Amino acid sequence: MADYDIVIIGGSPAGRYAAAIAAKQNATVALVEREQGAIQNSKFKIQNSKFSDSRTGGFLNPPLPTPDSLSYIGQLARQWEKMGNFGLRSTHEKAIDDCQVSIQWERVMQWAQNVQSNLAEENSPTVLAALGVDFILGQGKFVAQPNLSFVVNNRGLAARKYLIATNPRPIVPDIEGLAVTGYLTATEVLSSLTSPNPPKRWAILGGDPNGCQLAQALARLGLDVTLIVQRPHILPREDLEIAQLLQAILEAEGVRVLTNTTVTQVKGIEGKKWVQADREAMEFDEIVLCAGQQPELEQLNLAAVGVKTQRDRLRLNQKLQTTNSRIYACGDAIGGYQFAHIANYEAKIALQNALQNTLFSAQFQVDYRNIPWLVCTDPPLARVGFTAAQARRKYDNDVLVLQHYFKTLAIAQIQDEMTGICQLVVRRNGTILGGAIIGSQAGELINVIALAIAQKLKIDSIADLVSVYPSWGEILAQTASEYLSTPLGQKNWLQNLLAKIGCRV
């Protein structure tokens, strides 16, 4: 006899989100977390923040936070720079401004902590308990005998199904001396910045989204930043042209980017951290690891209950079911880029399958093709679907790449934010395969492309889109119109017109 419909293992945001969703569906739920406050979500971005003036250091309007980013301090630095708080000044002016910046920084950090607390409250233990979730603290593991259960605090939790939603841990490169010398993870950087003597020279190892966001943010605070990447370019999942544009943006803001560079040794000498990268030895105050994250699964005793892994990751089918049919997984426990909206999507799919009552119910499968993601640099990078390289590998020559630059937009010139590119990947018949956007409001614009892919719209539907003038949305129609200028586009346009008036083609 099962005690619960589902037991959720892990205190990740996706785990708490899943617990709330399951409870609202009248399921009996237990949520097991290793320790109180296991959720660590210090990732925020402040967009469009405005300050009253430098005399008070207050806000005209509250900044708008978005989760899943470490770059909000970069946005603040940009605002301060516009106000003249950074740059060339006299010693007296600099001392006054530094004092003002210090006051502002303290106010902003307090505000950020308040926002973090408010967001965490949405799925806090108190809220979950009110929904009927049994909140259990402790480290547990699966056992197979006498029946499958999850044992925590010497108590066996029997359930119809189980969902693994554990927090990840940073990938620690095998570098001589790194563990002895010490390093920070991305979520520990803010604490270091608010210390009495914050580090001035930073080495960031790894070009994942967190590494890029963090490099820009630290550089905007006037710190010396070197981003060291072993691969040929940053953001290895993106097309080379898109990654190179973002790299150029980082370098223009003072970030030193070293690609194709391998760190072979780290050594602490007289309070400094020396990094040997290929043939160059560099001195830093602090090292941050941004080489990706991996699921933390070792303590769960998965092999004993028939759950198989491959390359330290769970083997899952499209239903997010492990090789034990009663155990599912979602979010950071799966691996890959860590994005909250994708983790929540996976939690929904896993729950829909796990909580079904009959064998003949509909089966739900993950489909990532129309789910966008965002790298919160400034300007941001957003993508959905296939990259150009992925599309060519699958469809060979049946692929067109349409591009248009933000500098042609009136709104970009008005707001002096002309850096950016919109790239749409389509088949020759007009089917939209994917899109990538670097530029202002990329996170909003990519949603239109995601919707078009999900609804199987052709590229001419985007070309026909009439946007408000002036607006950032114009970039979509302008990019799509590149297709209509090709012989293929003109042929398809004529076919569509004839079809609309009832002629056979």
**Could you tell me the CATH number of the domain that includes residue 327?**
3.50.50.60
Q: Residue 268, annotated ligand binder?
A: no
Predicted confidence (pLDDT) at residue 64 exceeds the cutoff of 60? no
Report the percent of the chain where pLDDT is more than 70: 79
- For residue 365, tell me if it sits in a domain: no
| Structure confidence at residue 330 as a pLDDT band (50, 70, 90) | very high
- For residue 115, tell me if it sits in a domain: no
Report how far residue 414's alpha carbon sits from residue 134's, in angstroms, rounded to the nearest whole number.
Answer: 54
Check whether residue 159 and residue 184 sit in a common domain: no
| Structure confidence at residue 491 as a pLDDT band (50, 70, 90) | low
Yes or no: say if 9 and 162 are a contact pair by the CB < 8 Å rule.
Answer: yes
Q: Residue 385, annotated ligand binder?
A: no
Number of Cβ within 10 Å of residue 453's Cβ equals 21
Read off the amino acid at residue 472: W
> Which has the closest alpha carbon to 32: 164, 131, 161?
164
Chosen domain end from 303, 330, 355: 355
> Which has the closest alpha carbon to 62: 78, 46, 74?
46
For the chain, how many structural domains are there in total? 4
Check whether residue 406 and residue 491 sit in a common domain: yes
Predicted confidence (pLDDT) at residue 9 exceeds the cutoff of 50? yes
- For residue 20, tell me if it sits in a domain: yes
Predicted confidence (pLDDT) at residue 94 exceeds the cutoff of 70? no
Check whether residue 422 and residue 460 sit in a common domain: yes
| Structure confidence at residue 187 as a pLDDT band (50, 70, 90) | confident
Predicted confidence (pLDDT) at residue 5 exceeds the cutoff of 60? yes
Report how far residue 457's alpha carbon sits from residue 459's, in angstroms, rounded to the nearest whole number.
Answer: 7
Check whether residue 320 and residue 196 sit in a common domain: no
Check whether residue 229 and residue 163 sit in a common domain: no
Q: Which residues have CB under 8 Å from 252's CB, separation 6+?
A: none
446: CATH: 3.30.390.30
Number of Cβ within 10 Å of residue 241's Cβ equals 16
Report how far residue 454's alpha carbon sits from residue 451's, in angstroms, rounded to the nearest whole number.
Answer: 5
Check whether residue 190 and residue 255 sit in a common domain: yes
Check whether residue 426 and residue 486 sit in a common domain: yes
| Structure confidence at residue 22 as a pLDDT band (50, 70, 90) | very high
Report how far residue 225's alpha carbon sits from residue 388's, in angstroms, rounded to the nearest whole number.
Answer: 31
- For residue 118, tell me if it sits in a domain: no
Check whether residue 185 and residue 165 sit in a common domain: no
Chosen domain end from 264, 292, 320: 292
Predicted confidence (pLDDT) at residue 239 exceeds the cutoff of 50? yes
Q: Give the neighbor-by-neighbor strand order of the sheet with 149-152.
A: 140-143, 149-152, 155-157
Read off the amino acid at residue 14: A
Check whether residue 480 and residue 495 sit in a common domain: yes
Yes or no: say if 211 and 287 are a contact pair by the CB < 8 Å rule.
Answer: no
- For residue 454, tell me if it sits in a domain: yes
pLDDT at residue number 51: 31
- For residue 360, tell me if it sits in a domain: no
Mean of all residue pLDDT scores within the chain: 83
> Which has the closest alpha carbon to 12: 166, 208, 207, 151?
166
pLDDT at residue number 86: 44
Check whether residue 142 and residue 194 sit in a common domain: no
- For residue 363, tell me if it sits in a domain: no
Number of Cβ within 10 Å of residue 269's Cβ equals 9
Residue numbers of the domain that contains 75: 66-107
Q: Residue 332, annotated ligand binder?
A: yes
Chosen domain end from 292, 309, 329: 292
Check whether residue 467 and residue 412 sit in a common domain: yes
- For residue 202, tell me if it sits in a domain: yes
Predicted confidence (pLDDT) at residue 385 exceeds the cutoff of 70? yes
pLDDT in tens, 417-474: 999 999 999 999 999 999 999 999 999 999 999 999 999 999 999 999 999 999 999 9
Predicted confidence (pLDDT) at residue 53 exceeds the cutoff of 60? no
Predicted confidence (pLDDT) at residue 371 exceeds the cutoff of 80? yes
Check whether residue 204 and residue 277 sit in a common domain: yes
